[in-house]
Structure 1
Amino acid sequence: MNLFKKYRIRYLLFGSFFFFIFVLLCIIILVSYQYSVRGIVNTSTNYQEDQLKLISEDLTGKLETFEGYSIVLSRQKIFRDVISGNRMFHGSSVNSLTQDFSNIVYSIPPIHSIEIFLASPPVDNIQYPVRYTELSTVYEEKWYQKIEEESSSWLGKRMVDTVAGNKPVISYGRKITTSRGELQSVIIINLDPLTLQGWLLGFSEQANLVLLDNNGQEISSTSSTEIDRHFYENLINARDSKPEDELTFQVRHEDDFVVATTIPSVDWTLMEITPYEEMISTSKRMAKALIIIGAIAVFLAFIGTLVLTRSFTKPILHLASVMKTYDINQPSPELPTGYKNEFGQLFKGFQDLTSRSKMLYQSLDDQNRRQREAEIKALQANINPHFLYNTLDQLNWIAIERGDNDMSKMFELLGKMLRIGLSKGESIITLKNELKYLEYYLQIQKIQLEERFDYRINLVGNENYLIPKLTLQPFVENAVIHGFQDGRKGIVDIQVDEESNHLVIKILDNGIGLQKKSPTSYHLETGGYGIRNVKERLDVYYGDEASVEVMNRENGGTIVKIRIPKVMEQEKGI
């Protein structure tokens, strides 16, 4: 369905302009929002990556400090003597070892407690900051797998028994072995999780930072976001898909956007979780502002488009209304003036069209009037053929009874002329009948003038072409009456030829030729009136397609050349 053929131009023009502007504004708002979101996300993630790298480096340094503490503790002489068995294990030795390690715990606030696994721990194991455990039990601990193949490692988050009950700690374990590789002891330094949380908060109180170990267990966090298994799997997949030389990576989890970095020294993952809605809140505010501006722009576009549409369509609708109500008999309609553009051309074109239509209508009216007058004149020229035919028939019988054969022949020929002239009321007859009519007339003149007159009729081609009735007779009559008035022997030659689309009829005589006559004598001549009648009828029937030429011959006499279109019976429409 073509909308431009169904709906009014005003609605189409207004709808098209308004829809185009509306869609354009929507595209601008959408593209601006997308670019803004992308820019903010990229800027935020780049900033977060840089911050996470700094935090990771700082955490690495601080954790390496506690790794150093474990080395210092493991190398203390009293600790070496106790685990090597060089001294008797008695209360003073235990107190000394416990006192030394407790002092270290109290002097370094981040350290929560110290655990020592010995082959023969003291029986009285009170819950001090330093705690002793049977070495054989270490093999049953899950965290032991992390240091089984290594000398030391961070063990992640663990639960330890304290006076206040089970408390979470972050542990670092170190094995102490003999020269032959036999396990002598394991020393574990436990850090308070609040210490790591304080470290994270020290970088940014607003950032949602989360520190995970290599098993996905949360070590420390400043975020309220729960790290479930699905979250951790997305994180691992993103980490595995990043290039090997890159430490940072990004992942989108549900409504959160995560920027993470790997801490290689401990194989932990530090990440910052930012709600996606919070990240793009600035873009949303910008989008809302753009929507408000767009709504105002759409309203202004609506008004502007409406005004422009009315300005463009008002002249067209006015012209359409004039065209709808215009009648040929009414005066020319009044149209707006002053337009110098295409509207002015339309108005001028319509005015020219109405003027030409009136001229054509007047021309057709004149043509019909002339045709009716020509028909009336042709009928008047016949002088009621029915009455004349009956009268001539009676005169013919009288002439026969009196023995006047010439008169009888003339009446008979005149009757035949009347039969063709009557032609059942037809104005158009065949060329054959027209030539018969002409021959009957010439025979009458032959009887009258005897040896002083002769004629020839030569037809080349088809005799069934149509021709207006009484086309040739007035020219022949003019030649007989006016051409031979000086008593010479007259000859009339009628020639009918064909061209591609026309019939060419020539009437030649050897008379006195064309003479200058006074206007008075011209109007009194029957021949002149008949010729004028023929020309009018040919003009009515054929217009410019027909022509009549009358001129003097070089050797004396007159030539008449009549040229009319060839029309057969089935083509009759003139």
Structure 2
Amino acid sequence: MKQKMTKSSLRHQLIWTSLVCLIVPLAIALAIGNYNTNNLIREQAANNASESLKLIESQLTNTVRGLYSVANSIEFDAWITPYLKSPAYSNKQTSVAQVTEKLYNLTHDKTGVYVTVLTTDKRFFTNYLLYDRFTPLMLFEEPWFDRLNQLSAYENYVVGLHPSYLEGISRDPNIITFARTFRTTQRIFAYSVISITETSIRSLFENYEEQQIMLVDRDGTVVSGENPGSKFPHFEKLKERRADPVITIDEKKYIYVMEPLRYYDWTLVSLMPYDKATKGVNRIYFANFFWQIGFILVFVILLIGLVRRFTGPVIRLGEVASSIESGNLSVRSDVRGSNEIGKLGRSFDHMLDRIEEMVEQIKREQTQARKAELSMLQAQISPHFLFNILNSIRMRIQLKGDRENADLISTLSGLLRMTIQRQDKMVMLREEITIAIGYMDLMKSVMREPFQYRIDLAEETEEALVPRFTLQPIIENALNHGLRKGSGVIGIESAAKVDSLIIKVKDNGIGMDEEALRELTDKLDRGRLEAARAASGGMSGIGLANVYDRLIMLFGPRCAMWIESEPGKGTCVSIKIPRMGGQQLD
């Protein structure tokens, strides 16, 4: 009974915890969402209206640019411009017809666009038919026409909205006019007056039925839209309330958006009834809310069933853990599965077996390690045996009177002892010099060309500590590369600084050019570890890179190694290490 209560309690805890973790955040989110819904809807509606205005602004810009392109085409036409400049063509009807045809060709794909070109000698050309009550020369009498004379070259003048002067041609009572002067550097020779009907501009707004869109100038006059030419009474109020997208007009709420145009201080204004803007969004919001409630109910039902299913194996594992804690290591849970609980059950069941296997494995590994160590020791030749053989050979040669070769064998024996005892211990500099001298004496017997060596040590550096076997690889490199084509001199120098020791190994061999020196330095920096690993164990396999690697490992950034060389003059390898006295020797 107690076990059943424990199981039931665990299940209830999981279910209630899951429900609380789900419902409480959801309730808070719904409360916050409900509080912010109105603001979000307003912002969304304002964003939609703003996108609409940006699209209209793009279309309106293209329309105006199309009008300007007509003026540009006229002004820069290689045939029309001379004709407009010279009054000598004034009586040639064929030329007039050709200009008219060109104007028509420029505007035949533009609805509601009327082009008038006036010359200073009172000639005119149009893309439309004339009627009795209007002649294009009447445009000279318009109040805005005198302002054209003050324009600079290529400057456009926006007349804006005004009553149409084409009553017999267009039914639209209002037109929007743009004007420009054509001039040379000395004088004006013609004017272009391009008008477009207000309804052509208003047609850009027709696809947005839910919005009341209008084009307003900086004074609040409606350029295009409902009641063109009238004052929009709420324009100043809208400009003052840019932070709040909602405005009340005649006790009715509107979401408004203003999009200033990039030219002529015109502004696109959109008014959308608040109820229409929020109706669709509210419907979507409540539909989503009910869908979420439905999904939550389904989730709760599935949660209860899954928790009841999962808690059985967990409780079983708890019972097994209690048995193991009491000392019964033979108990098994028999919980299986591909999920984490199944893996945990298998881990419990195999825990003791794994411990036994690990103990046996450790024993086997230790036995194998001892066998391998014994085999390695048996495969080695005792160094003392080798030294004894070399000493016996040296004694026999010496008894025969060949003291020179006996000395060479003695030197070889000493170097062999140093090689077999490869350890990164420190030795005094004078001991390292002794090894280097022995090595060079041996190399004299095998080099094709004779060479000399010169030792120049500062007295205060003789007892300074250096890493064992540092100079031999550098000397070997000098013999194999620096003096490979002839005899020469190997020099070893030392100097003491305040807290550092500097050692130089020089040769007067063939040297290196700048490119070879730079390549060697780069390889020394990049490949020192690889070169060290490639060392075969003999003295000649260490190399400069291994020396540098050992110095870095021992002294870190306190050491340095650099190479100087000139073709035909030789090479100098310098190392700098911290200065340590002989009393620090182990």
With normalisation by structure 1, the TM-score equals 0.37
**Structure with higher RCO (Cα < 8 A, 6+ apart):** 1
Greater radius of gyration (CA) = 1
